[in-house]
Amino acid sequence: MMALGAAHVMMMASDDDDADSSQPESTLRGGYRRRSVFGRRPVQRRQAGGSGGQGGITATNVLLALNAIVYLFQMRYPAITKAGWKMAPAITQQGQWYRLLTPIVLHGSFTHLAVNSMSFSSVGPVVERVMGKAKFVTVYTLAGIAGNVLSCIVNPRTPSVGASGAIFGMVGAWGAFCLMNETVLGRNNSQRALRNVAQTVMINVVYGMGSSQIDNMGHLGGFLGGAAMTFLIGPRFKRRLNPYTGQPYIVDESFKLGWPRLGESPPAP
C-alpha cells in the first residue's frame, strides 16, 4: 500500500521442492536485484479439489486485469480514488466500511500499479497453484482488508491505496504454507523458503521506513492476515501409502470452516 506515492514489494528468493534446485537471479523490473522468489512448483501433485491455478484463466491474471481496468477508470474519473481510498474517520464515523476493501484495487500512479503488478505476478501464481483458486482469492482479499484495518488503527488520518497489502498477504501465505507442509516440502527447503520470506519482509519494512509514502502498517497487516488465513484454511499436504500398491501419494487434509477435504483417494487395484 502507499500513502499516495509508490509502494514497492521487493521479493526475495523462495525455494522449491527439489533439494538440489538452484534459482537463477532475476530482476522484477522494479530496479531491485533479487533471486526469483517463488521458483518452480513447490507441490506438483495436487490431484483434486480444483486446479491450483494451472491451465485456463488463473485468478492471479483476473486480479491483475481487474487492477488495470480500475486504474483506467481512475485516470478517466479521478474522483474514484478519493471516493475509495482508506481513511479511518470515513469508515468509523460515516459507516463507509467499503473503504476497507476498495483500496485493494486502487493505485496512486502507473508506476505504483506496475510495480505491484510485477510483484504479484511473482508471488501470486505459486500460491494459487498450491491453494486453489477459491482459497487463493479468499486469502488475498482478507489479507488486503487486514492490511487496511491495521493501517486505519495506526495511521487513521492518512489516506492510502494499493494492492501491496494483499500482495504481502501472499508472502505471508507462502510462509505459512511452507511451515505447515514441511514434511512434504522437506525440512531444508521449507526452512530456506521461510528465511527468504523473512528477508523479504525485513527488506521491505526497512525500505518503507525510509519513505513517508509507503504504508508499512498496511503491509504488515496484510502479511499477518495472509499467514493467519492460510493457517486456518490453507492446504495441509500429507504423504500416504496406497494400501493396494504400496506407492506413496499426497493428500490435502485441510477441511477447516467447511472447506471440502481435497486430495486423492488411493485407487483400488
| Active-site residue, 109 included | no
Residue 166 lies in a domain: yes
pLDDT in tens, the chain (269 residues): 655 433 444 444 343 433 333 333 332 223 222 222 333 333 344 443 344 545 579 999 999 999 999 999 999 999 999 999 999 999 999 999 999 999 999 999 999 999 999 999 999 999 999 999 999 999 999 999 999 999 999 999 999 999 999 999 999 999 999 999 998 888 899 999 999 999 989 998 898 888 778 899 999 999 999 999 999 999 998 888 888 888 888 888 875 444 444 444 444 43
- DSSP H or E run through 34: strand 33-35
Range of the domain at 125: 55-235
Give domain status of residue 168, yes or no. Answer: yes
Of 164, 142, 221, 205, the residue nearest 2 (C-alpha): 164
Q: Is residue 262 part of a domain?
A: no
Q: Supply the DSSP symbol for 160.
A: B
Q: Which of 151, 164, 190, 254 is catalytic?
A: 164
Active site residue 112: no
The CATH number covering residue 169 comes to 1.20.1540.10
C-alpha cell at 74: 481512475
In a domain, 138, yes or no: yes
Instruction: Name the one residue in this structure whose C-alpha cell is 482478507.
Output: 142
Catalytic residue among 8, 107, 112, 219: 219
Residue of 68, 45, 233 whose CA lies nearest to 140: 233
Report helix, strand or coil for 240.
strand
Beta partners for residue 97, in sequence order: none
Q: Are strands 248-252 and 33-35 parallel, antiparallel or unpaired?
A: unpaired
250: DSSP letter = E
Q: Which pLDDT belongs to residue 2?
A: 57
Domain count, the chain: 1
